[in-house]
Amino acid sequence: MSFDRDLRNKLLIAGARFSSIQECDSDAEERVVMETAARFKIHSQSHTWGESIGVPFELHKYGDTDSAILLASSLPEGSESAYLIVSDGREPPWPVFQGRADELLTLVSEVDQYFEYGLVSGTYDWIAYDNFYDSHLYTVNVKLRSWS
């Protein structure tokens, strides 16, 4: 089964206005997904990564708040480079975008469609995974600063 073509197109169109954002090719997508899964002990074929993170994590219910905006204000220092792993609720392969963390999160906020995503640092030091089904944000090595 292939990834939601409409969602991918929305991401590509919205992402085109950011100079740092690029969609990874299929080899890089696979590498990023596998390295992220290995680093955070996630079953890589799981449909909802948040529920299968195998390292200590924090769970935050965010309700009606935009998780991407909340996360953007809480990124660790030096979080310039990141990967955005986008899930449509189906098995991989999933598209992966590379760019500045703040621009990737702006992209997430601007796409007019709900989807699950993992934002992982370019050095695999931290991850935030948004499970939009029940408004939970799973974080490893990210301290949310502006939680209300």
Burial class (CB in 10 A: 0-12, 13-18, 19+), 111: middle
Domain segments of the chain: what residues? 5-140
Q: pLDDT digits over 28-52, tens only?
A: 999 999 999 999 998 766 767 777 8
Q: Which of 84, 135, 125, 73 is nearest to 107 (CA)?
A: 84
Quickly state the pLDDT bin for 147 (edges 50, 70, 90): very low
Chain segment 77-128, per-residue pLDDT in tens: 766 899 999 988 777 788 999 999 999 999 999 997 888 899 999 999 889 8
